[in-house]
Amino acid sequence: MEDSVRLQVDPWVEMRTVITGPLPDIATRFSRFLGPLWPHDALVIFTRECTGRPRKVAGNREIVDRVTIDELDEIKQSIEPGGVVAGIRSLGGGRRKIWALRDTCDTLLVLVPRPSQTAAPDPDQVAAVFGIVATSIQHQVAQASPDYLAESRAASSERARTIAELTEVHEATLSSILGTLRSNDLDDRRSRITASETASAALIALRSAGAADRAHSEEAVTTAFARLQGELRPLLRHRDVDVDYVDPPADGRPLPGEVAHAARAMVRAIVLAFTAQPVLTRMRIAWDCDGDNVLIEVRDQGPGEIDRTALTRQLSGRLQTLRGRIDIESIAGWGSRVTLTIPLDPPAVRPDEHLLSTLNPRELEVLAHLAMGKRNRAIAEELGISQSTIKFHVASVLKKLDVANRGEASAIGIRAGIVPGDVHS
């Protein structure tokens, strides 16, 4: 009986590990989970929810490093939501045998089976476990946790820099070709025309690549605001509150995906804080752009009894990650006003920034206490767990941050502005 129970429980224990670890590595953890059941050489999770890195990959680097958004889009469009496909498809720069599933929440899973694997996995079983993973990704992105935002912002910065560098190099090269071929010193008219057309087409394709990437990674500010209104309706359905929405300018600068997600999550939190007051009759929600920042204002005509300290703590993790600012005014009998300023451009990337995104919430909390100079015993008492557990977490933090001692880890935590109480926001 004991062995039978263990067989039933262990897969769900493993699934919990898959969905509770850092989001950037979820494909690696899910690949380990599926490996014993359905051996595969590569696994790809493709979701538009993660604007920074829509591809989560694990397995053979010769395959996964070459997988493109266009290939995944083509596979996804060939499958109805909730459907599966098995066969030969273009993936990773070649024609490969794949097995793919499109979850009902529009997240795609692609497996490249090992050559020895002839039988396709049971679609119902994979749909069940992948549904949990897809829902977890959707939930983490919707909540815009600080670690998701850090990972997404780092990816956005890296992508933008890479595209800019490639564009400059190729534009210079192709412009040089055009200049040479258009020279009157060359008399082979036909070859010049052909080469000129080829180079011109290449320039157009290169410049359009940047536009395609922006379409995948950015949201129009008006679209982001419209989505916010849809997300707030269920929260306000049972409250007799008159809400005045002030739309952002239609020509406002597009928002990076992580900023759009964070802005909506924080406004939802503010609205919930306002509706927790005993009386609330009117609320005003306004978005604007000044070119460098998205500007958010939420105000009410209520009793002015919101918990300013709790709301600041709830939002500070996201704001610190995005280098944003908050200002809260609350006057008894007059009402409350919350303003947020969130930069649209990421700051200069620090070498340790991407490492912070690998820490789970508990490790970030331990790092916050390390940054304050606390020893293991004091941290254990503060968090209500054993010293041996704290020792384990400290060791994991040092390993993930690639540092030799607590002092170096503390310095990273201090530079990042991580303080106790923020990491669960």
Same domain, 193 and 269: no
Q: What is the pTM of this model?
A: 0.53
Of the residues 83, 113, 143, the one at which a domain ends: 143
Among candidate residues 384, 390, 287, the one with its CA nearest the CA of residue 341: 287
Contact 47, 69 (CB under 8 A): no
More confident residue, 90 or 184: 90
Same domain, 257 and 205: no
In a domain, 348, yes or no: no
Among candidate residues 5, 67, 64, 11, the one with its CA nearest the CA of residue 34: 11
Of the residues 289, 316, 343, the one at which a domain ends: 343
Q: Mind listing the pLDDT tens digit for each residue in 324-347?
A: 899 999 888 889 999 999 998 866
The beta strand positions in 210-367, using DSSP E, are 218-219, 242-246, 255-256, 282-289, 293-300, 325-331, 335-343
Same domain, 51 and 99: yes
Same domain, 154 and 137: no
The CATH code of the domain that includes 272 is 3.30.565.10
Q: What is the pLDDT of residue 228?
A: 93
More confident residue, 130 or 178: 130
Structure tokens at 389: 């557990």
Same domain, 305 and 282: yes
Q: Please list, residue by residue across 331-360, b when 16 or more beta carbons sit within 10 angstroms of its beta carbon and e when fewer do.
A: eeeebbbbebbbebebeeeeebbbbbbbbb
Q: Give the mean pLDDT of the chain.
A: 80
In a domain, 421, yes or no: no
In a domain, 286, yes or no: yes
For the segment 183-196, the average pLDDT, to the nearest whole number, is 63
Of the residues 113, 143, 173, the one at which a domain ends: 143
Same domain, 62 and 131: yes
Q: What is the pLDDT of residue 297?
A: 96
Cα angle 317-412-418, degrees, rounded to a multiple of 5: 20
Q: Mind listing the pLDDT tens digit for each residue in 267-280?
A: 999 998 998 888 88
In a domain, 422, yes or no: no
Q: Mind listing the pLDDT tens digit for each residue in 229-267?
A: 998 988 888 788 899 999 999 988 888 888 888 899 899
Same domain, 183 and 133: no
Q: Residue 29 above 80 pLDDT?
A: yes
More confident residue, 90 or 152: 90
The CATH code of the domain that includes 47 is 3.30.450
Q: Residue 306 above 80 pLDDT?
A: yes
- The Cα–Cα gap between 8 and 31 comes to 20
Q: Mind listing the pLDDT tens digit for each residue in 368-409?
A: 888 888 889 889 888 888 989 999 999 999 998 888 888 888
Q: What is the pLDDT of residue 47?
A: 85
Range of the domain at 378: 353-416
Q: What is the pLDDT of residue 424?
A: 43
Q: Mind listing the pLDDT tens digit for each residue in 203-222?
A: 665 555 554 444 557 788 99
Same domain, 32 and 117: yes
Q: Residue 5 above 50 pLDDT?
A: no
In a domain, 425, yes or no: no
Same domain, 275 and 311: yes
The dihedrals phi and psi of 114, each to the nearest 5 degrees, come to: -70, 150
The dihedrals phi and psi of 29, each to the nearest 5 degrees, come to: -65, -40
In a domain, 163, yes or no: yes
In a domain, 406, yes or no: yes
Report how far Cα 280 is from the mean position of its chain's Cα atoms. Answer: 34
Same domain, 139 and 259: no
Q: How confident is the model at residue 8 (pLDDT cuts 50, 70, 90)?
A: very low
Q: Mind listing the pLDDT tens digit for each residue in 63-80?
A: 988 888 888 989 999 999
The CATH code of the domain that includes 380 is 1.10.10.10
Q: What is the pLDDT of residue 336?
A: 93
In a domain, 336, yes or no: yes
Same domain, 8 and 137: yes
Same domain, 12 and 137: yes
The total number of structural domains in the chain stands at 4
